[in-house]
Structure 1
Amino acid sequence: MTSPQAEWQKEVIGYADAINDFVRIGLADGWDKAGVEPTMPPMAHLVPHWLEALHEVNQPGKDQAAHDAFRKAWPPAHAPLADLLDSQGIKSSELLLLDDGSMLLRAGAPYQDGPVLHLQGSTCTDVEGIDFIGRCPQRRYFATCNDEGVTVTDGWLGPKVAGLAWPTGHEDLPEGMEGEDLEDRPRPTRLIPFPDGRRVLLVSAVGIYVLAAGGARRLWPTAESLEEDGLPVRLDMEHGAISPDGKWIAVGGQDGAHQVFDAELNMVASIGPVSEYPHYAAFSSDSQMAIFNACHFYEGATLAVNVKDFPGLDTDFYGNDPRTPTVQEGARAYAAVHRQGEFIIGDANGYLRAFGPTGRKHWFHFVGSTIMAMDISADGNTLVVSTCAGFISTIRLDAGKAAPWQIGTGGHRETQRWLFWASFGRPLLW
């Protein structure tokens, strides 16, 4: 009789082989030649055995060799766990890869209370007194926050550079509009220091602000938008990014177009999306290009703009302007990184998708469940990814050969996976 472990291994690797063959044929010869998409057989009866083995290998005293043997015997997979993920998976709202290879994770969605955790090797420790984290696009300055305000440090927990107050809600109102105090201090969706460490971009559901020593400035909604919509501000799909050279700020939300401001906080561009709702923005690492994603349900599309075209750019929804070409179709993006020659976006269906500046597809890699946050090492060789399933995945890019259980078209290899599940009490390594 086949053991539960052997059955799990056989089915997971067999499914990955079948899916990868299906995709290979579809991409090369057309999807009509690929046949019926493979499905994984029922595996719910194996999950209790996997859970028992997972808890066992995470007992004190287990070394790296034990974890490596466990991953080989029980290869990571998403499909067998799908029925558990809604109740078990803990989302994360920020993930930062430090230069020493360790990670910082803000567990929980932005609207939820959650700890900041430091993941180092096989250990996970709480970072006390910090509610949210962020880092500047040049990787030097870090922002942390609590009820007292926002602190900027030179390096992670390094020397303090700035202490910044939360906005009050009265900033940059239309003339004659009587403001009202924010009910509570904002819960950050993103917290991004500028490259000089003196200011911080605060993205939140109650507004997008630039925090500075002299006080906060409201970027979005603008005064003109507030005249039309009034107070209080309640944003959906709020997002923001700063170019690595600090010259440009891209922001937006579900209502309206993509917006770009210069370093002096003047609006310089309004860019119509190529799907229904503006959802995400990111800059290339050389500050020469920006991408803007918009979504509709679990699908979406991404356009690109050369930053030299920002000044005065004003395009309509679904516009056919050659300065805003569509470079990716199909993905609702929640996170993105850039390395030389390619953007990598994480989508709502659990895929990493890489493409070049003109939209040429490079590769895809499946992790599973909505990609929530991503970061990439300074050398572009290591990618870290968090998902709604509570997966925290470390991937060595361009490793040459993927593991046999992986689904994708690139030669990238996952080297570690944390599981943040509600019933575990503590994160476990897969």
Structure 2
Amino acid sequence: MDKQHPQQQWQQAVSSYAQAINRFVSQGQAQGWDDLQEPQAPPTEHLLPAWQAALQAINQPGVSDAQRQAFREAWPPAHQPLLPLLEQHGQAIGTLLLLDDGSLLARIGTPFDRGQVVRIDGYSVTPVIGVEHFGRCPQRRYFALANAEGIRVTDGWGGPQVARFAWPNGLEGLPAGYPFEPFDLPPTPTAITPFPDGQRLLLVSSEGVFVLAATGATRLLPDEQAILQDLAQGIDPDDINLGLGMEHGALSADGSLIAIGEQCGRHRVLDQQLRLLAEIGPVSEYPHFALFNQRGDQLLLNACHFYNGATLGVRTADLPGLDTEHYSDDPRTPLLHEGARIYAGVAREHEYIVGDAHGYLRAFGEDGREHWQHHLGSTLCAMDISADGRTLVAASYAGFISLIALDSGRPDWQIGTGEHAEVRRWLFWKGLDKPLAW
């Protein structure tokens, strides 16, 4: 029997496995992968009761910051040892924002879950009452706060209201004279993003993609022209599917460009008057994600196939009139990254940081050159970055929120090639009395 204390066993297992994986990756990148065998994780399931007891103890009232730091060093964060618990306890964290004061906003649960919005400030977690979904404009100034009554836009978090929008009724942009039915309930937002002036809002949902304004809602997807084509072919209105899958949207920093998409069709880009500028064929099967770079002069477009994918880039100057098909080799839409099905991403100076379905943060340049990877585990589903590009926050379907100090050095227990250190990890697990800070 191992006479080491469970904490020592955990520490040794987590650090040795991370270092072995990092050596494996380094060798593979240097010499190829053909003759390499991936390291096996050491057994840790027997340590989980001791880890859980220690985690609960460190989250009791009266614990000092020094004690919390000592706990992290004794029980370094890891994903692989927790796999036996994730099926029961893990859950998605669908939306995440890092506020300028260092606190976090998170929506616990997928958009379709009942969910709860919370604010995380230091080690304090407080429910945000009366808000079911939230979003922020690309320039970080305006916030959208939604509930069943509608969506209001405030100037700053907690600031004065500058606009209020009703939910779409579902008949916007549908051909007149056909028996289409309005929504029974407001659409469930995948994302709500105010425009930089706070006077319009991009609503992405599986029931449709809309721009909301004081004058009402304008449907962007499904496209009215495509619906008319279906009707012209004799398809019964009741058989026309108005729902969307893998729906997504992004605004450029100045609000002049709107990138949208869903699994059926091509990537689409519209101007601020909602006129179609470009239709771009994906470089994998299903359009899945869009993100503008920090300067707003390049657009990243990801498409997926199962849990993998491919990402192209296009300069915004090349968008007007751009019309390419699937897997086009047009030099204006070069492949930037291959392998990741992207669920969330952010941009900082000359760099994209994306989260994939395999639990990795992956960073690459606007030229497609790989920069680094950083492992968190489970599918990454929400991300944000501080205005200065030095702090990253990421969330996963494992129920984790990870606060990461970028470019601050890598601890020996971290799997990855970048010099980044996790500062804190929150567990928002089903079945817990309260979220726990690790």
TM-score normalised by the chain length of structure 2: 0.96
Q: 1:176, 1:269 → 2: CA distance?
A: 30
Q: How many angstroms does 1:267 deviate by? A: 1.1
Q: 1:183, 1:322 → 2: CA distance?
A: 45
Q: 1:113, 1:334 → 2: CA distance?
A: 21
1:158 and 2:159 matched: yes
Q: 2:332, 2:87 → 1: CA distance?
A: 41
Give the corresponding residue for 1:67: 68
Choose which of 247, 250, 266 in structure 2 pairs with 1:257.
266
Percent identity, please.
55
Q: 2:64, 2:336 → 1: CA distance?
A: 44
Question: Quick check: 1:375–1:384 contact (8 Å CA) kept in 2?
Answer: yes
Q: How many angstroms does 1:282 deviate by? A: 0.5
Q: 2:334, 2:241 → 1: CA distance?
A: 35
Alignment of 1:280-299 (within 5 A): 280-299=289-308
Question: Quick check: 1:143–1:193 contact (8 Å CA) kept in 2?
Answer: yes
Q: How many angstroms does 1:180 deviate by? A: 1.3
- Paired letter, 1:404: D
Q: How many angstroms does 1:228 deviate by? A: 4.3
1:213 and 2:222 matched: no
Q: 1:117, 1:233 → 2: CA distance?
A: 32
Q: 1:63, 1:392 → 2: CA distance?
A: 21
1:14 and 2:16 matched: yes
Q: How many angstroms does 1:331 deviate by? A: 0.2
Give the corresponding residue for 1:202: 203
Q: 1:32, 1:179 → 2: CA distance?
A: 56
Q: 2:216, 2:414 → 1: CA distance?
A: 49
1:394 and 2:403 matched: yes
Q: The residue matched to 2:294 in structure 1 has which SS?
A: coil
- Paired letter, 2:314: V
| 1:164-195 C-alpha deviation (Å, 9 max, x unpaired) | 00000110113543431112101100000000
Question: Quick check: 1:174–1:224 contact (8 Å CA) kept in 2?
Answer: no
1:339 and 2:348 matched: yes
Give the corresponding residue for 2:372: 363
Out of 41-50 and 142-151, give the one that drifted further. 41-50
Q: 1:27, 1:152 → 2: CA distance?
A: 47
Q: How many angstroms does 1:232 deviate by? A: 5.0
Give the corresponding residue for 1:270: 279
| 1:366-423 C-alpha deviation (Å, 9 max, x unpaired) | 0111010000000000000000001100111111x20111011111111010001101
Q: What's the RMSD between the two structures over aligned residues?
A: 1.0
1:140 and 2:141 matched: yes
1:410 and 2:412 matched: no
Question: Quick check: 1:382–1:395 contact (8 Å CA) kept in 2?
Answer: yes
Question: Quick check: 1:189–1:205 contact (8 Å CA) kept in 2?
Answer: yes
Give the corresponding residue for 1:320: 329
Q: 1:125, 1:332 → 2: CA distance?
A: 32
Q: 1:363, 1:54 → 2: CA distance?
A: 30
Give the corresponding residue for 2:390: 381
Gaps of 5+ in 2: 231-236
Question: Quick check: 2:294–2:350 contact (8 Å CA) kept in 1?
Answer: no
Q: 1:191, 1:93 → 2: CA distance?
A: 12
Out of 76-85 and 222-231, give the one that drifted further. 222-231
Q: The residue matched to 1:16 in structure 2 has which SS?
A: helix
Give the corresponding residue for 2:32: 30
Q: 1:292, 1:284 → 2: CA distance?
A: 11
Q: The residue matched to 2:199 in structure 1 has which SS?
A: coil
How many aligned positions are there?
428
| 1:55-103 C-alpha deviation (Å, 9 max, x unpaired) | 0100111121111111111111111111221221121111000001100
Q: 2:203, 2:108 → 1: CA distance?
A: 18
Q: 2:331, 2:162 → 1: CA distance?
A: 42
Give the corresponding residue for 1:104: 105
Question: Quick check: 1:193–1:201 contact (8 Å CA) kept in 2?
Answer: yes
| 1:9-41 C-alpha deviation (Å, 9 max, x unpaired) | 1000000010001111111222235x2110112
Question: Quick check: 1:96–1:105 contact (8 Å CA) kept in 2?
Answer: yes
Q: 1:428, 1:101 → 2: CA distance?
A: 18
Question: Quick check: 2:294–2:348 contact (8 Å CA) kept in 1?
Answer: yes
Q: 1:294, 1:197 → 2: CA distance?
A: 30
| 1:262-312 C-alpha deviation (Å, 9 max, x unpaired) | 100111111110111110001011110110111111100000010111111
Q: 2:101, 2:276 → 1: CA distance?
A: 38
Question: Quick check: 2:293–2:350 contact (8 Å CA) kept in 1?
Answer: no
Alignment of 1:73-112 (within 5 A): 73-112=74-113
TM-score normalised by the chain length of structure 1: 0.98
Q: 1:414, 1:28 → 2: CA distance?
A: 27
Q: The residue matched to 2:146 in structure 1 has which SS?
A: strand
| 1:313-363 C-alpha deviation (Å, 9 max, x unpaired) | 111101111011110000000011000010011000010111111100000
Give the corresponding residue for 1:116: 117
Give the corresponding residue for 2:234: none
Give the corresponding residue for 1:305: 314
| 1:126-154 C-alpha deviation (Å, 9 max, x unpaired) | 00000000000000000000111000000
